[in-house]
Structure 1
């Protein structure tokens, strides 16, 4: 029986190698998902929902085990289909063209990701996050598999050891930064646009709801919803509108006054979206469980 020494290469396709690669893939995926959730939460419009309802709590409790299972399954697929085959390819390229396997493990996904990011950018996706995400996702699990099969690069030169350590440290950081960039976390918390009175002039609509605001304060409403003494109603008619400046919630609002629709003035439309693509929204009923209406301009 052959004795395994520190110089004997371990099998690339051994269970332990796949498990190690899967573990690294799962950890980096979980961290990226967490960064994405935080970024998407603080950088997107909450539409006035500042609390955590019972529905969100129940959904979180149910979702976490499912998410964990999906992350683990995805990491296992990544290890089998990308990370370990990438090391195998790197070993073959080393035998054919020289250089170190680690260099190929870093270069091949970077080059492939560059092409993929270019294709995505042609379709409108941002190139930088696409390239960084595509590269970083495959590198760390592959470096972990390579490290394990070579016994921590035992017998390798200082350059190989330093290169592997830098790859193991930099690629997760690059992946997390790219995720933060793509999710909007780097842009900071969301702030509602300030349009000023002239910015609201025009037609806002959603489905059959139509709100036409004119200069001078005139308003024409078609099936605009509101509550009258807790009874849902809709308003079609002519009246007036005025801009309510941003207050503690940092949002401007449009207040309507239509004589034929008693009580509609109690249901202002708050501004949301962005300066380039503004929205007017209003929630009927409870802020957590009520019916949200979002009108788009144009």
Structure 2
């Protein structure tokens, strides 16, 4: 009589600790955020920086951003990847480790989706896309480390190598984009008549430009250095369209078409510069300290 071998339980995690089920997952999560930030900076020339520059602001915030990335990586490891891999270990069937990890991740995704939808009333499809997009690489890294019985150091070396290659590609791509001006952003060139009408922004800023040159503004930001950050001015006056010979690239400080306002009683007012696109134009001003500028955009209602 042949005795059938009893099914063997899932192999224990290296070292017998549950935390080793998700080795390297936090590194993968942090790496994808760093690479995403590098790609964002490398493609900055494709977006409007409103003359304040993406790179300068990013360098200022780098230490705090890196700290937040580390905290987010370990929080994601604790709340998502580790529960997903623990569920994968508890599942008796199917026997394939990769599929078990996928099923575990799906179950945890569903739990987080239900919590986010009930707590914040966020759209389901965007929540699913965000959870899936940020969780795929960490779960894959955790499965790979558990399947190969790799420790944290080995995973750090592998993820570091892949991240370094990705960052190098982002840097090269950024230089090529800057050199070739491929899909570079250009401010819209609008006729004077296209500025006529109502412009709103921030819930409180309002500007009405009439065809005859009259202007009516509510809560317009002041230029006066002694004015506080919330000091504004409202009134009626005139506006003048100031076109430029040619629109330059914002990253190079090129000129933009603008609107000059003259409202008695408000003193000097900032010029509202053109932004957005021809189909969706914007007007904007920049206020605040040069080190921490604030952009106030207006758009069509």
Q: Following superposition of structure 1 onto structure 2, how do residues 157-168 of structure 1 map, counting pairs within 5 Å?
A: none
Q: Deviations over 1:82-127 (max 9, x none)?
A: 12322442xx113xxxx6333444577579979x7xx999756398
What residue number does 2:155 align with? none
Q: Distance in 2 between matches of 1:291 and 1:111?
A: 42
Report if aligned partners of 1:211, 1:222 keep a CA contact under 8 Å in 2: yes
Q: Distance in 2 between matches of 1:109 and 1:30?
A: 18
Match of 2:76 in 1: 74
Q: Does 1:196 align with 2:190?
A: yes
Compute the RMSD of aligned alpha carbons.
4.6
- Which residue of the partner structure matches residue 85 of structure 2? 83
Shift of 1:235: 5.1
Shift of 1:29: 0.5
Indicate yes or no: 2:96 matched with 1:100. yes
2:5 paired residue number: none
Match of 1:253 among 240, 252, 257: 257
Cα offset for 1:26? 1.5
Q: Deviations over 1:124-174 (max 9, x none)?
A: 63987765545444233123223329xxxxxxxxxxxxxxxxxx99xx99x
- The question of whether the paired residues in 1 share the 8 Å contact of 2:187 and 2:277 is answered with yes
Q: Tell me, yes or no, if structure 1 residue 214 matches structure 2 residue 192.
A: no
Map of 1:126-275 to 2, 5 A cutoff?
131-148=132-149, 191=185, 194=188, 196-197=190-191, 198-205=193-200, 206-215=202-211, 217-228=213-224, 230-232=225-227, 234=233, 236-245=235-244, 246-249=247-250, 252-258=256-262, 260=264, 263-264=268-269, 267-273=270-276
Structure 2 stretches lacking a partner, 5+ long: 1-8, 151-157, 171-181
Q: In the alignment, what sits opposite 1:152?
A: none
TM-score (norm 1): 0.61
Shift of 1:220: 2.4
Partner SS state of residue 223, structure 2 = strand
Q: Is the alpha carbon distance of 1:80 and 1:225 closer, same or farther for their aligned partners in structure 2, counting shifts above 3 Å?
A: closer
SS of residue in 2 equivalent to 1:203? strand
Distance 2:220 2:141 in 1: 53
In 1, distance between residues paired with 2:108 and 2:74?
24
Contact 2:197 2:209 in 1 (8 A): yes
1:49 match? 52
Indicate conservation of the 8 Å contact 1:208/1:222, yes or no.
yes
Counterpart-to-counterpart distance in 1, 2:140 and 2:72? 20
